[in-house]
Amino acid sequence: MTKSLAESDVVLRVNGEAHRVQVDARTTLLDALRDRLHLTGTNKGCALGQCGACTVLLDGRRVVSCLTLAVMSQGREITTIEGLAEGDRLHPVQAAFVEHDAFQCGYCTPGQICSAVGMLAEVKAGWPSHATADVSARRITLTDAEIRERMSGNICRCAAYPNISAAIRDVAEGARR
């Protein structure tokens, strides 16, 4: 395969494995994951960064992969929905989504789950949100309003929000480890 002048070789570390791919400088992380690495769990929704269907974790922080360039992700740890489980053992958030029926059509689910994993890490680190009642509190309580605010970048057309909140609260309260 001949490389065009606009293409670059990049090494993307995805789900613990390094992958060398050729990408145009304008290729999004989403397109590199789906089209070059054939990791199709991350979904393309709006391609504008507004729906959250393409959310992945970049160095443990949630990002919308449709607005993140693949070349900017080189040297960073990328975790997709495929990388959350440990073998046959689901990640606690994945298991909670199943238990609470926190999905309908499932299209937004990979992004919702990756966002929830990143959001729970933010809460654990003590990062306040716009809904945090006491920003100086040592521990943030995940109220319904707090969960809604933190997950507001992820849209579910089927409106499974109450079940998504219940799944997140279940994990946050330690019911799942």
> What range does the domain containing 47 cover?
7-83
CB count within 10 Å of CB 109 equals: 24
Residue owning tokens 């360039």: 69
pTM for this one?
A: 0.93
**Count of domains observed in the chain:** 2
pLDDT at 137: 83
**How far apart are alpha carbons 119 and 97 in whole angstroms?**
15
**CATH number of the domain to which 137 belongs:** 1.10.150.120
SS3 7: strand
Give CA separation, 97 vs 51, 102, 112, 147, in Å: 19, 5, 10, 15
pLDDT at 7: 87
104 and 127, same domain (yes or no): yes
**CATH number of the domain to which 61 belongs:** 3.10.20.30
Eight-class DSSP state of 44: P
C-beta of residue 43 within 8 angstroms of C-beta of residue 106:
no
- Averaged pLDDT score across all residues of the chain: 94
Tell me whether residue 23 is in a domain: yes
pLDDT tens figures, 32-91: 999 999 999 999 999 999 999 999 999 999 999 999 999 999 999 999 999 999 999 999
79 and 55, same domain (yes or no): yes
**How far apart are alpha carbons 121 and 116 in whole angstroms?**
9
